[in-house]
Amino acid sequence: MNKFTPAPWKIKKIKSFDKTLVYIQINDNNSKGIAFAGVYKRINKNNYKMEWDEEAEANARLIASAPEMLACLEDIKDFLQSHGYDTRLVKQIIKKANMK
């Protein structure tokens, strides 16, 4: 059983003062936002910024699609296993995602 909130996770952009921020909104079954993950970009060794740019948005989209990708990977693992393929790498990735 996964401990994370099931999909969908959504990308949101908001205006804050003079900046556009990008974050991931994670909803519960009642569509209430229960978690928000800001996407920060490293601008130098000691500083980060939470400001929209193409890289920040691409990273947010990748993170937001994680629940669906994990479910797909679990289906692929089952299919590959049933056809005799080596699934060690797939199992390692699933284990990493589930922290088991």
Asked whether residue 100 carries a pLDDT value surpassing 70, the answer given is: no
Per-residue pLDDT, 34: 65
What's the CA angle centered on 50, arms 10 and 34, to 5 degrees?
35
Q: Which two tokens stand for residue 3?
A: 């401990």
Q: What is the mean pLDDT of residues 72-88?
A: 95
How many Å apart are CA 56 and CA 6, to the nearest integer?
Answer: 22
Average per-residue pLDDT for the chain: 78
The arithmetic mean of pLDDT across residues 37-55, rounded, is: 68
- Alpha carbons within 13 angstroms on the beta-carbon side of residue 70 total 21
Mean pLDDT (whole number) for 41-70: 76
Confidence (pLDDT) at 50:
60
pLDDT average, residue stretch 59-66: 86
Residue 70's pLDDT is 92
Rounded Cα distance, 16 and 59, in Å = 20
- Owner of token pair 């009642």: 30
